[in-house]
Amino acid sequence: VNLPLIMVTTASVQPSNDHKIKHKNSTKEISSLIVVDVQNCFINGNLALIDSSAKQDGADVVPIINHLLQTVSFDVIIYTHDWHPTDHISFYQNLNKRRQYLLGDQNKNYSLFDTVTYKGPLVQTEQVLWPLHCIQDTNGAKLHKDLIVESKSNVFHVRKGLNSDVDSYSAFWDNNKQQKTDLDSILRRWNVTHVYVTGLATDYCVAATALDAIDLSYTTYLVEDACRGVSLETIDKKKQEMKQRGITFVQSSQVKALV
Ligand code: VGL
Ligand code: ZN
């Protein structure tokens, strides 16, 4: 299935918060579930989380997210997609073509998952050398087949990592914080105040998305059991950072009472 990219470009769908105001007199919280990168590559592809050091299975988030989708009435639902061109900067396989940009010894040997510093072509940036993953229009980039994805006016898809020369862990900004996706403008258009972040991978795209959400002044929840990550060390480090920055950790069973 080719996912339709539903972008708000016309005035045909006007979000209404009336139902919220009627049913919840005390608050005008508008909620969004953000489902980060629940794509085949992170489940059984070249970057399968189960093959990484934390040995977590990305597929485990699917029933948990589905249950949230079926039991909680979020005002807006966002699915993010890591969506890379083949010559993307994040691929280890493209290192040789980018050696001229390496900071330091340009002949040095690097391995998969090493971190390098590229001093260009855009700006100086640290980059983990990932295996090929989530290449545009491939099966690996598709959302997991069991994930519930409805086509409704309040459901949006956000693609990231399309620019060959910069990675994008966050679904809001590229890693250089130079270009924004549509995510913030979609959430603002719908007056979203509270976001619930789920998906893959806890220590990379989930953390980066949650940290940008709180930076952008959304009340931000990490739904802890609805995420899986790459390495225990970075999961721990990023969770501490998220807590310090004011993100609230909740379990999926607690979300219904909050929304
Ligand atoms: C991700 C590594 C590379 C993620 C994306 O979705 O967390 N991780 N690209
Ligand atoms: Zn990626």
Tens of pLDDT, residue by residue over 224-234, are 999 999 999 99
Between the CA of 163 and the centroid of ligand 2 the distance, in Å, is 11
Mean pLDDT of 116-127: 97
Q: Minimum-distance ligand to the CA of 170?
A: 1
Residue 123 and residue 105 in contact, taking contact as beta carbons nearer than 8 Å? no
Q: What is the 3-state secondary structure (H, E, C) of 117-167?
A: EECCCCCCEEEECECCCCECCCHHHCECCCCCCCCCCCEEEEEECCCCCCC
- Bridge partners, residue 250, by sequence: 223
Output the CA angle 95-96-102, nearest 5 degrees: 65
Under the banding of pLDDT at 50, 70 and 90, the label for residue 223 is very high
Taken in order 172, 204, 251, 246, the sign of the CA dihedral is negative
Question: What are the pLDDT digits (tens) for 32-76?
Answer: 999 999 999 999 999 999 999 999 999 999 999 999 999 999 999
Under the banding of pLDDT at 50, 70 and 90, the label for residue 27 is low
Q: Which contiguous run of DSSP H or E holds residue 236?
A: helix 232-244
Under the banding of pLDDT at 50, 70 and 90, the label for residue 28 is confident
| Residue 114: pLDDT over 70 | yes
Provide the ipTM.
0.98
Residue 130 CA: nearest ligand 1 atom is 3
CB distance 37 to ligand 1 below 6 Å: yes
**How far apart are alpha carbons 156 and 79 in whole angstroms?**
6
**How far apart are alpha carbons 120 and 38 in whole angstroms?**
30
Average pLDDT, the chain: 92
At 148 the pLDDT is 98
Mean pLDDT of 16-21: 51
Q: Minimum-distance ligand to the CA of 88?
A: 2
The more confidently predicted of residues 3 and 9 is 3
CB burial of 83-121 (b: ≥16 within 10 Å; e: otherwise) equals bbeeebbbbbeebeebeebbeeeeeeeeeeeeebebeee
Between the CA of 176 and the centroid of ligand 2 the distance, in Å, is 14
| Residue 14: pLDDT over 60 | no
Mean pLDDT of 3-16: 50
| Residue 5: pLDDT over 90 | no
The more confidently predicted of residues 99 and 27 is 99
- pTM here is 0.90
Catalytic: which of 184, 205, 227, 239? 205
- The encoded tokens of residue 55 equal 């040995």
**DSSP structure string for 164-209:** TT----SSSB-TTS--B-SHHHHHHHTT--EEEEEEE-IIIIIHHH
Mean pLDDT of 87-105: 97
Between the CA of 144 and the centroid of ligand 2 the distance, in Å, is 16
At 8 the pLDDT is 46
Question: What are the pLDDT digits (tens) for 167-219?
Answer: 999 999 999 999 999 999 999 999 999 999 999 999 999 999 999 999 999 99
Q: Which contiguous run of DSSP H or E holds residue 220?
A: strand 219-228
Mutational pocket test of ligand 1: of 204, 209, 222, 230, the residue with most ligand atoms within 8 Å of the beta carbon:
204
SS3 76: strand
Under the banding of pLDDT at 50, 70 and 90, the label for residue 17 is low
Catalytic: which of 37, 75, 82, 182? 37
Query: Is 137 part of the annotated catalytic residue set?
Result: no
CB distance 218 to ligand 1 below 6 Å: no
Query: Is 41 part of the annotated catalytic residue set?
Result: no
Q: Diameter of the chain by CA atoms?
A: 65
Query: Is 205 part of the annotated catalytic residue set?
Result: yes
Residue 201 CA: nearest ligand 1 atom is 7
